[in-house]
Amino acid sequence: MANIGFIGLGIMGAPMAKHLIDGGHTLYAHTHGKVPRALIDAGAVACESGREVAERAEIVILMVPDTPNVEEALFADNGVAAGLAPGKIVIDMSSISPIATKAFAQRINDLGCEYLDAPVSGGEVGAKAATLSIMVGGKLSAFEKVLPIFQLMGKNITLVGKNGDGQTCKVANQIIVALTIEAVGEALLFASKAGADPARVREALMGGFASSRILEVHGERMVKRQFQPGFRIGLHQKDLNLALSSARQIGVSLPNTATAQELFNACVAHGGEAWDHSAMVRALEKLANHEIGQ
């Protein structure tokens, strides 16, 4: 069993951390605000800073919202880097810039430590069920050491390549998810305004080539108007910003990603930053002057 540090105990981080405790590991935890009581009761040790976490743990996991949050957690005066000793492993499971990730990895490597970028897909549901897809960038030797830890949190775990490649894979994932949400929203909106029952249309489509996990889960959310967040629009908006800014840097055009981002932007303009990302359909509904299910 290992001494594991965990920084960032939000919607996804808290259940991920709990799986590590349930797996028999000792957990040293730090987050903005207080470490959740449920984790303390389960055996987590609350730490005052990232530095303390790194001093007490062999492996340090980060699960925070965005690139600046990772940089602060790692390199602030009392951050993780200040508490590291050679041979320790830092794992960033946040979804952040692939380019920044490479720079962060080099700084951690220079301290004699290994760095893995290991963003996840699956949302709150996957975090709670320990069924996350985990996309990893870094050295094979470090990956093999922590694979049993990843297996406590996820099911589909892939070493994609070198540092930064895990984050690149996550950006690609978020492009596919956003565009598929948009396609499902358009299809169900079209069906509803044409007079068909969108719930029955969705049921029929689930048996054909158009079937997808997003049609299954998010299509149901759209029909039932259940937009409490599993994955917030504001976070997906951040991920598409990463996609579009990275695309500009490498000279790639992502026209439909840009369209999906504009639909998210419209939702945020209507107060929807905290809506589930399936609520992108609300922007399409505004354009059609029609709500699915009416």
Q: Annotate 34-68 with b (16+ C-beta within 10 A) or e (fewer).
A: ebbeebeeeebbbbebbbbbbbbbbbbbbbbbbbe
| Cα radius of gyration (the chain) | 20
What does residue 251 show for φ and ψ, rounded to 5 degrees?
Answer: 75, 40
DSSP output for 141-158: HHHHHHHHHHTTTEEEEE
Of 18, 88, 128, 170, which one is the catalytic site residue? 170
List alpha helices for 194-232, DSSP H. Answer: 198-205, 213-224
Chain centre distance of CA 276: 13
Among the listed residues 73, 4, 87, the one whose alpha carbon sits nearest the alpha carbon of residue 39 = 4
The span from the CA of 263 to the CA of 268, in Å, is 9
Among the listed residues 121, 266, 269, 271, the one whose alpha carbon sits nearest the alpha carbon of residue 281 = 266
Give the position of tokens 């975090």: 127
The span from the CA of 246 to the CA of 238, in Å, is 12
Whether 145 sits among the annotated catalytic residues: the reply is no
CB 51 within 8 A of CB 83: yes
DSSP 92: E
For the record, the structure tokens of 67 come out as 């690139």
Q: Which residues are catalytic?
A: 170
